[in-house]
Chains A and B, each alone.
Chain A
Amino acid sequence: MGADPDEELVRRIGAGDPAAVQAMVARKLPRILALAARMLGDAAEAEDVAQETFVRIWRHASGWRRGHARFDTWIHRVALNLCYDRLRRRREWTTDELPEVADEAPLPDAIPGDEERRVNQALQRIAPRQREAIVLVYYQELSNIEAAGAMQVSVDALESLLARGRRALQAMLAGDGDD
């Protein structure tokens, strides 16, 4: 495992350095907000998750010790946990389990300028674990090992989630998931 590019910044935050706080927010807030927005499909809830994630960063900064995961992977895990809390609350799940099966019915054809909303709808309709895998690897550009670590699954399991998620998206967005 290589050096953690965030480790020094976290140490300075723990020591009470205001410049380090500014640098951390500039570096991580866009990533965490994007992660939450794509997981939740709701900009206001994504902002709440981003704020809560940073509260945890500030609280843990003075005691941060690198374990098995890099700091970036750890904050992704924190943000994802907060997203799942909201998904469970929002959808009033009768059990603690989120659905594993995606609703792959094709979406209506896009009208010009509406493609982004359509992709958002498709992302929200696939199973949350598949969405999580795609968001981490495709949009957040975590490596396969980092994404698998953040999701606490094996790399093989991650690849399976990615492939199933992309097939479901393909079926919904282009109606040709079987090719």
Chain B
Amino acid sequence: MDAGRFAALADAYGGALHRWPPAEQAAAVLFAETEQGRAILQRAGRLDAMLDRHRVEVPSAALHRAVVARAATEVRQERRRRFWWLGFGLAGVGLAGAVAGLALVTVVNPDIQSDHYVMDANATSFGDAGPEQTEEDL
């Protein structure tokens, strides 16, 4: 690691190496032992010291209780919502299956067309065999 990269990382992440990108920490530790490295870290550390003065309050007991109290209701309602959506989903899958099945039956096994030609009660198998012979023909 050269001085330029070391300074750029200190500008971004400050003077504490544990906040630096993990992939560059090993090289940074080596450079930090140089005089130039120490000067860069010292300068970055001055701003860190100022930032460390900014503290935030720990959560109050009332806030903790309010957050926990809301959990029971929200988790239960969400589980109920998910249950109903699952029900709707299964019903939808069932309906889709029924429609698909009906479509399949229609395609694979279409209605057989009625044979109108053999339904005439007067017809015989010889009905259209040819013209009738008369006595005059004999």
Residue positions of A touching B, CB distance < 8 A: 13-14, 16, 18, 21-22, 25-26, 29-30, 33-34, 37-38, 43, 46-47, 50-51, 54-55, 58-63, 115-116, 119-120, 123, 134, 137-139, 141, 143-145, 155, 158-160, 162-163, 166-167, 169-170, 173-174, 179
Contact = CB atoms under 8 A, between A and B. Distances in A.
B22 A143 contact: yes
Nearest to A13: B75
B116 interface: no
B111 interface: no
* Of listed B11, B43, B54, B70, residue having the most chain A CB within 10 A: B54
18 contacts: A21-B68, A22-B68, A25-B68, A29-B67, A33-B56, A38-B54, A38-B56, A43-B56, A50-B67, A51-B66, A54-B71, A116-B55, A159-B8, A160-B12, A163-B12, A166-B44, A173-B50, A179-B43
Contacts of A145: 21
A78 B50 CA distance: 28
**Which has the most chain A C-beta neighbours within 10 Å: B46, B71, B79?**
B71
Contacts of B98: none
B54 A116 contact: yes
Interface residues of B, number: 37
Given A13-B71, A61-B78, A47 B63 contact: yes
B79 A16 contact: yes
A38 to B, nearest CB: 7
Contacts of B123: none
Contacts of A159: 8-9, 12-13
A16 B75 contact: yes
Name the residue in B22, B43, B75 with the highest tally of chain A Cβ atoms < 10 Å from its Cβ: B75
Contacts of A18: 71-72
A59 B78 contact: yes
Contacts, number: 125
Interface in B55-114: 55-59, 63-64, 66-68, 70-72, 74-76, 78-79, 82
B14 A166 contact: yes
Nearest to A122: B50
A55 B66 CA distance: 11
B1 interface: no
A115 B50 CA distance: 8
Nearest to A134: B51
B47 interface: yes
Given A54-B70, A159-B12, A62 B54 contact: no
Nearest to B58: A30
B129 to A, nearest CB: 78
Nearest to A169: B47
Shortest 4 CB-CB contacts between residues of A and residues of B: A58-B74, A162-B12, A119-B54, A163-B11
A170 B47 contact: yes
A163 B8 contact: yes
Contacts of A160: 12
